[in-house]
Amino acid sequence: MTIHFPFQNTYSALPANFFARVAPTPVAAPRLIKLNRALAVQLGLDPDVLESPEGAEILAGKRVPEGADPIAMAYAGHQFGQFVPQLGDGRAILLGEVIDKDGVRRDIQLKGSGPTPFSRRGDGRAALGPVLREYIVSEAMYALRIPTTRSLAAVITGEGVMRETMLPGAVLTRVAASHVRVGTFQFFAARGDTDGVRALADHVIARHYPDVAKAERPYHALLEAVVARQADLVARWLLVGFIHGVMNTDNTSISGETIDYGPCAFMDEYNPAQVFSSIDEMGRYAYANQPRIALWNLTRLAECLLRLFSDEQDKAIEQAQFILGEFADKFTAAYQAGLRRKIGLFAERDGDEALIQDLLDAMAKNTADFTLTFRTLADAAGDADDDSVRAQFTDPTAFDEWAARWRQRLADEPQSAAERQAAMRAVNPAFIPRNHRVEAVIAAAVNNDYGPFEELLTVLSKPYEDQPEFAAYADPPLPDQRVLRTFCGT
């Protein structure tokens, strides 16, 4: 059977030092766990064919599809603030690019498909748990309307991978607007390869920011565009309680998508200092630090572009600093607008920011569940009483005091209670991929039970709907179910 991927590859046409040509390593007995049929159709692929045994072989890397030009991309990166001049795709291989039904160019990449020249003594493989975690969380983020890479398929390989113990091996097929990272620019800048930086910038402009090509200073405009997308992206993360967990520059996408779901997690109770990642011992990537780290990463990108800005370094630095200075306002505008929507405000008034901050402070002091507080607040804005939202606070009177001011503010706007409730429910999810649920799904899958995985995906595909038959999925963990640490997928 011939399986056709309509590849139109551009990255592999760049200079040879941008990547290493390497084929996936065949696996023993690939078996499809899950195919994202709707995404396959969006990509112009036949889901029935992909679900065949031959399709599973392609999605596991055992067979290379016609038209593919498999490569491992080169990049560098700051990892927890320490610069590593060569990282690269150590366990991922880009098969190629397709144009989807909306005319958008998308990468199709295999993660866990075997060693590459960038593997640094690693086996290039992935265990089942991290593959399922990325599938679940990336598709949940998509349903939450947050820019993200997508998951096309998960395949079990029929081989074990050794980590602390022997685990089932798996491969994830990831789809992205591209896999270019801040670290990709750093790879060339660290080598003094200005031509490489320019070629990469031109590629990114053509692929992601075509309007920038018409600007008087296109490389300045590129940095402005990336700053704007990152500011908006991180604001969206905070609005749903998401913690990336490992915001290294090599995990910061130039396209403005969320990428590389390793030790990621969603908060249960609201805590600005919350950290889940087992490797983030100093809290560098804590929930509330994410905007600051995004700007730090963007500053590293700006450093790479300086030679394209001006031959005069002082002038180039001044221009870059001006653009980076826009991040704070862009982030704050996106974040505050999102928070206003979460508490049901349609217009911006003086005092709104303080009102919202007072709610967040009360939530933190009273260990209120982040997701449920806002979801039940939507009900309280409609025809329900305050009991459900009060129950989120260890001291319910803390909510009562705030609610009196909130209702006074709501009275300043003309919208009906029903309109307000509908608007709030559209931005405050009932369901997120709670950590204890994800861990339970992985534990079942390791024992060859994928029923919980399928059910969780079903629930998370409609996060803003009540889904009474799945109401328990909205519940926070019991004390003995709490997940305190999440782990990287390498």
Q: At what angle do helices 194-208 and 218-239 cross, to 10 degrees?
A: 60
Q: Cα(112)–Cα(135) distance, rounded to whole angstroms?
A: 13
Outline where DSSP puts E strands in 48-205: 71-73, 77-79, 82-84, 92-99, 105-111, 126-127, 150-162, 166-176
CB-based contacts of 48, cutoff 8 Å, min separation 6: none
Length of the chain: 490
Could you give the CA distance from residue 195 to residue 127 in angstroms, rounded to a whole number? 38
The CA distance from 174 to 172, in Å, is 6
The position carrying tokens 């804005």 is 381
The residue from 232, 250, 268, 379 that is catalytic is: 250
- What residues contact 192, with CB distance under 8 A and at least 6 apart? none
Measured CA distances, 237 to 49, 192, 258, 464 (Å): 36, 34, 9, 16
Q: Which residues contact 345 (CB under 8 A, 6 or more apart)?
A: 352, 409, 410, 413
Residue 131: name the closest of 89, 92, 174, 170 by CA.
170
- C-alpha to C-alpha distance for 431 and 434, rounded to whole angstroms: 8
Backbone angles phi, psi at 432, to 5 degrees: -130, 165
CB 135 within 8 A of CB 127: no
Establish whether 107 is a catalytic residue: no
Residues involved in catalysis: 250
